[in-house]
Amino acid sequence: GQGLQNYSLDEASLYPVKNLALGPGLKMADLCASPGGKSLASIFAVEGQGEWLCGDLSPARLQRLKAVFHDCLPPQIMSQVRIMLGDSSRWGLRFKNQFDRVLVDAPCSGERHLLETPKELARWSAKSSKRLAMRQHALLCAGLDSLKPGGRAVYSTCSISKIENDGVIEKLLKSRPNQFKILKINEAEGEPTTHGWILLPDKCGTGPIYFSVLQKNI
């Protein structure tokens, strides 16, 4: 059997996809798609009725993404999915105002992974978190620019760093004033932050996942 049941996905990862408010016939972009779980969840949410552009910067990660898609998707749905290698922070120029829904599941410091890997934790610093936040902001700007007016974007990370979470949204409010509004989130699990929502493993048994939901102004 093919489907999402073939793919192992942390339950918290489904929350950003759920908050995209998907429906059939939409054009969707996933700027940082590998390893593919969130893209798959979005495809199965509408039973493959839509178009997807899925990108990644790393050739190795993109190969993994292709393998996951081929394992989990029938050929007729694969024909509606375009996979693109390259820097998706440039998609704002290349695909301006083209998508109904955009997911920016940004590369992040992923502290849960750090805590499980002492060597990585020793290497981590606030400076590296700030560097990541610059990249995250660039990706989110591209996502917003590639979104159709009235479209919805979800920004998410698996970090607990405010710099990489609400901090990125705060920077976007300054760099793109009056271009979008932040939508209210109300989930049964997790808790609100200033600009989004967070699920923490010590409280929810899943995560961490942070996400913020944005609607582009018309």
Catalytic residue ranges: 158
Q: Cβ neighbours of residue 105 under 8 Å, at least 6 residues apart?
A: 16, 30, 31, 32, 33, 38, 156, 157
Long-range contacts of 63-70, Cβ-Cβ distance < 8 Å, separation of 24 or more: 64/34, 64/35, 64/36, 65/33, 65/34, 65/35, 65/36, 65/39, 68/7, 68/35, 68/36, 68/37, 68/40, 69/36, 69/39, 69/40
